[in-house]
Amino acid sequence: MKLVRKELVENCLPSAPEYRYLFSESWTAEAIGELRRLGRLDYYADFPRPFFRLRTPEGAQLRGVQGEPTCRVVFPGGAARASDDFDARLARLLAGVRTEQGGPEWE
Amino acid sequence: MSDLAIVEPAAYLNNAAEGWPRAPGVSQAVRQALEDWRHAAGRSAGEEEDPIEQVRRTLADWLGVSDPARIVFAGSATLALNLAILGLPPERFRRVLTTVTEHNSVLRPLLDAVTRCQGQIQLVDLDPSGVLDREAFERALEQKPTLVALNHVSNVTGQINPIEPLLEAARSAGAVTLLDASQSVGYLSLRPEQWPLDLMAFGGQKGLHGPPGVGVLYVSPRIELQPLYSGGSGVHSELLRQPPQMPLRLEAGTANTPALLGLQAAVRWQAGQAESFRARAAETAERLRQGLEQIPGVRIFSPPGPRVGVISFCLPGWESAEAAWVLRRSFGVVCRAGLHCAPLMHKALGSFPGGTIRFSISGFTRPEEVEAALDAVRRMAR
């Protein structure tokens, strides 16, 4: 599971910058579980489409929905270095995740 | 890249931003306008009647405006409000009175104009109960404002401002009066000629359930606005300046005929359905509000008094933006979160900077949509 693309998302709040991440494959329960290695994971398995939220000790917040190949990530303070560090750790973590389903087709 | 294409909505509760579904006849009118060559012929092309002037008459009839030339079309409510505010003479910005309930479509052009003209702007706050402070408004009128800009309905709480007495008092104080009817159109009767107002604006895509890309500005005969832009008008091409007569004075360039014909269809539908549409909307809003009130922990920003179907709330443990995202992605409930382009209202309500989750219904909202939304909030609140 690889990070394919990352883009800034505008919203109407004066909050930290929010990014949309696109991955090569959709989030599975296994991949979501791996996130525990990066911080505190909340997993709402009883939602119609299970929701997960990761909070790292450095303050980064990642949220996503199981079965989708995207997630949203917020970096309080918006520091570019924090973003790069997080991306590198996330990439290493997900590189070892094997999912059964194939990746979605993207235009 | 989009992550919004997968889940079909279980509930569409974003009508304060854009009314959906479109009113019956709107899509057909837009399509017909795009496909019928006569609508592309334009002014002075030998057609018996300009379709845009028919739309103007439809709007004038519906609003009770005796002279259709006082109805101006723009690309959106925001552009209509800019035409109204920035077209006023500089002396009108010497002392401006407005309220914390306003949308940025009013606040930003007002601040631009006041700054440019070195004027002053005064804001009326909410009273402790959360409604517009009438006493503060009346006290502010003693300062003889030159322009008073008022919101008919808050896009955050759905609260209806008592505009007739407020506008009457403002006019008596000598002010030019501007009403932002963006959230009231379709839900409340608009009677600009019967009310003491000079300017009123709204868009086509909210309560009218018409197409986006069209705004309407009423300009009373008391007011002469300066055009913000000039150019082709299709008539009086011998003039080197924008023709002075209304509405051409404020309508340079090719009109968005498909959107205008869609707006006409929406207004015609609305004219025949207003009472039942509004009754259904009120009933649905009440059911939604009562349901939210029964969910432990939900904090509703709900002032007393009359209101339309716009409900802002917070959910403990969830930031508003995240909650709206989860509602959409996990539950298929389409809503809006954040500051809703009304930052001063959120400061007044105490919901700044995080904002609120906003559910906004319409007369088209089905009971099962309300139940789906309430079920989602209940499960998130556990």
ipTM of the complex: 0.87
pLDDT band at A66 (very low <50, low <70, confident <90, very high): very high
Q: Is A64 helix (H, G, I), strand (E, B) or coil?
A: strand
Q: Is B11 helix (H, G, I), strand (E, B) or coil?
A: strand
Q: Do A68 and B321 touch (CB under 8 A)?
A: no
pTM comes to: 0.93
Find out whether B15 and B366 touch, Cβ atoms under 8 Å: no
User: Tens digit of pLDDT for each residue in B72-110?
Assistant: 999 999 999 999 999 999 999 999 999 999 999 999 999
Q: Closest Cα to residue B2, out of A76, A20, A86, A19?
A: A20
- Per DSSP, B102 falls in state -
pLDDT for the residue B135: 97
Q: Closest Cα to residue B95, out of B154, B144, B40?
A: B144
Q: Which residues of A touch B344 (CB under 8 A)?
A: none
Q: Which amino acid is located at B239 in the chain?
A: L
- For the cut 50, the answer to whether the pLDDT of residue B5 exceeds it is no
Find out whether B215 and B105 touch, Cβ atoms under 8 Å: no
| Overall residue count recorded for chain B in this entry | 382
Q: Which residues of B touch A65 (CB under 8 A)?
A: 326, 329-330
State mean pLDDT over B30-49.
76
- For the cut 70, the answer to whether the pLDDT of residue A107 exceeds it is no
Classify residue A88 by burial, with Cβ atoms within 10 Å: 0-12, 13-18, 19+: exposed
Tokens read off for B298 = 């939900």
Tokens read off for B195 = 């009310």
Q: Does A6 contact B at CB distance below 8 Å?
A: no
What's the whole-number average pLDDT of chain B?
Answer: 94
Q: Does A106 contact B at CB distance below 8 Å?
A: yes
User: Tens digit of pLDDT for each residue in B140-170?
Assistant: 999 999 999 999 999 999 999 999 999 999 9
Find out whether B15 and B340 touch, Cβ atoms under 8 Å: no
pLDDT band at A81 (very low <50, low <70, confident <90, very high): low
The nearest alpha carbon in chain B to A5 belongs to B1
DSSP H/E element including B203: strand B199-203
Q: Does B5 contact A at CB distance below 8 Å?
A: no
State mean pLDDT over B24-44.
84
User: Tens digit of pLDDT for each residue in B235-270?
Assistant: 888 999 999 999 999 999 999 999 999 999 999 999
Q: Does A5 contact B at CB distance below 8 Å?
A: yes
Name the minimum distance, in Å, from the CA of B211 to any CA of chain A.
Answer: 23
